[in-house]
Amino acid sequence: MKKYLALLFMLIYSLAYGQSFSSGEKKALKLFEQATFAYESKLFGKSLRILDEVLAIDSSFLEVYLMKSDIYQEMDSIPLQIKSIEAALKLNPIKNPKLYYVLGNAFYRSGSYQKASDAYENYLARVNETATFVARARQTLEKCSGAVNLLKHPVPFESINLGENINSEDDEYWPSITVDGKTIIFTRLVGSNRPLSQRNSLAQEDFYFSRFENNIWQPSEPLSSINTVYNEGAQTISTDGKLLFFTACTRNDGKGSCDIYFSRNREGEWSVPQNAGEPVNSPSWESQPSISANGETLYFVSNRKGGKGGMDIWKCNLKGFSEWGTPIWGYPVNLGDSVNTPGNEMSPFIHSDGKTLYFASDHWPGMGGFDIFYCRQKNDSVWTQPQNIGYPINSYKDEQGLVVDASGKNAYYSSDRPGSKGMDIYSFKLHKNARPSPVSYIKGKVIDEETGAPVCAKVELIDLENPKSVIKGESCWEKGEFLMCLPLGKEYAFNVSREGYLFYSDNFQLKERKEIIDPYILVIKMKKIKIGGSVVLRNVFFNTGSFELLPESKIELQKLTDFLKLNGTLIIEIGGHTDNIGSAEYNQGLSESRAKEVYKYLVSNGIDETRMKFNGYGLSMPVSSNDTFEGRALNRRTEFRIIKK
């Protein structure tokens, strides 16, 4: 909108007057030519001084007021722009109806929505339906109405400055936070506190980070291994804090003007940034990435062909990394009409719940400039109607770069609101309507059961109702540790695996949990493959009193199938166990039938029957007390044990 308005004055008087001007004074015309040259050279102060000289000669020189309006627009001096337009209108309001449209835009940008509406109505009343700006005027009239409604229904909002350990005299923006809320990474415009005349040559975007310890953000430090003499910004960090995507422009290995780059953290050190490659990057402009909690989808902004308007939000599946450490991508997909518009959509943030998207738009009805919106994913290609996050979070200025923590309650964004030192990072409690589903997390360490040494293992969290929904991680990067997002409201199979070890199985039943819960802190002791080693299959399920396998069991049984195929010499026993509800004879038969069903499933999936035995142990081998519900649940189990290598 701003760039568009910056060209309006030339368009208006060229349409109205062709090559002629409203003044016949030769000296005034000569000075106006000089002012135009200064304006085109971005010497705005000089141009304004010359224009004032022109008005001293001919106060009715219409184009002078138009140029002054345009300069004030460039300088973001909206009150002075309005004053210039109103002065031009006094000269000839009938002959220059387009000025009412420009005035409406200026009032809209200053948050004067009723005055903007009046100006647009004046414009529409003076032109026919084929006039150039009719459609835009009608559209912004609707936005004015929506903005007035937002003003009448403010949302709860109280922001808190993150303090001097994060914010400095320079501008800070684009916060990113890990799922445990312990690490924040943000962009700092180093040198932006210098005088305006020096900023363009000295200011530089770099990354800084801070850790939340002892209930306070510690002094921020630069990400030295990523920062360069060039600009780095608009970053996103993975759930575990080990993968960073960010934007860099005009680099030697770039595909277009701006590209997305990545770096991986190993043992506290970030790798040398690399271009994320095609097809995420193209000859067009790519920026502002956001990685999903499961690490499988990257959302980003691009103006590439195939979009809906200017800047659009796209997504691309991250299938993994090649042996050379480069990303393997799927095909880029535009988020479609339910998100993107003929305008510009920017700064996407996909919450850890995997379905709530926050973004900025200058087209959806809002307060002016870029407003923050949110929507929720219905399926892979359809989102709910975007909702304005509300006033006073949004204002007539530009808002973008919002992120929300795992609980869904706390949001972070940057603002130059009163009391800040330029752009500062703030947090605030997000009102309930705009909150995503809360998520928790699993933080763990994988070690060898015998030696206690850290183990590099693959970690998976699988939605039992949707096996394609997998959150993947690994404990390879730092001392066997991992961190994974845990969305609530579902039931999950949790597996840890490493060649040469028995896999680890667990289950998280969170279907009924809608409010934030404490994270799971685990120490997983991996057992090497040897005779006598056993695994309880926590995700093998039967109906009460039945031996028919439930469909959700297939995920775990496939894991066991793959394990046996990988270790082709193993012979196992499948054991069924029950609680003490019912007679011993009944439980003995039920446990044997259940073990046999697992045996039959494995045979049907390619495991030689000579490699397996099955046995029922009934209620004879409890691992917990049968006096509690939780204890009985532990006793009802299916497990396998290695009997020969």
pTM: 0.83
DSSP-assigned beta bridge partners for residue 315: 299, 333
Q: Final residue of a domain: which of 493, 510, 528?
A: 528
Q: How many domains does the chain have?
A: 4
pLDDT (tens digit, 9 = 90+) per residue, 300-316? 999 998 888 889 999 99
258 and 180 in a common domain: yes
416 and 353 in a common domain: yes
Tokens of 115: 């005055």
516 and 562 in a common domain: no
602 and 488 in a common domain: no
Percent of the chain exceeding pLDDT 70 equals: 95
CA dihedral 252, 254, 255, 260 (to 10 degrees): 180
516 and 375 in a common domain: no
Mean pLDDT of the chain: 89
Cβ atoms of 367 and 396 within 8 Å: the answer is yes
Side-chain-side CA neighbours of 395 within 13 Å: the count stands at: 10
pLDDT value at 67 more than 80: yes
pLDDT value at 7 more than 70: no
309 and 424 in a common domain: yes
DSSP per-residue string spanning 564-621: HHHSTT-EEEEEEE--SSS-HHHHHHHHHHHHHHHHHHHHHTT--GGGEEEEE-TTSS
- Over residues 121-133, mean pLDDT: 89
Query: What is the largest distance, in Å, between two alpha-carbon atoms of the chain?
Result: 113
pLDDT value at 432 more than 80: yes
- Give the CATH number of the domain where residue 490 resides: 2.60.40.2190
DSSP-assigned beta bridge partners for residue 447: 454, 525
- Over residues 590-612, mean pLDDT: 95
Q: Final residue of a domain: which of 152, 178, 197?
A: 152
Could you tell me how far CA 579 lies from the centroid of its own chain?
46
pLDDT value at 4 more than 60: no
Nearest Cα to Cα of residue 45 among 12, 74, 10: 74
Dist CA 624 CA 630 (whole Å): 9
Map tokens 């005779």 to a residue. Answer: 531
Question: What is the domain extent for residue 140?
Answer: 2-152
pLDDT (tens digit, 9 = 90+) per residue, 260-301? 999 988 777 888 899 999 999 999 999 999 999 888 899 999
328 and 191 in a common domain: yes
- Which one has a higher pLDDT value, 591 or 465? 591
174 torsion bin: left (phi>0), alpha (psi -120 to 50), beta (else):
left
pLDDT (tens digit, 9 = 90+) per residue, 527-557? 999 999 999 999 999 988 899 999 999 999 9
Tokens of 556: 């775990």
294 and 211 in a common domain: yes
- Give the CATH number of the domain where residue 572 resides: 3.30.1330.60
Dist CA 614 CA 616 (whole Å): 7
555 and 473 in a common domain: no
Cβ atoms of 642 and 572 within 8 Å: the answer is yes
Tokens of 396: 């007539």
Confidence label for 514 from pLDDT (cuts 50, 70 and 90): low
- Give the CATH number of the domain where residue 171 resides: 2.120.10.30
Q: Final residue of a domain: which of 506, 528, 550?
A: 528
Please, what is the angle between helix 134-152 and helix 98-109, to 10°? 30
415 and 397 in a common domain: yes
Dist CA 402 CA 430 (whole Å): 11
170 and 143 in a common domain: no
338 and 239 in a common domain: yes
Buried b (16+ CB within 10 A) or exposed e, 43-62: ebeebbebbeebbebbeebb
pLDDT value at 197 more than 60: no
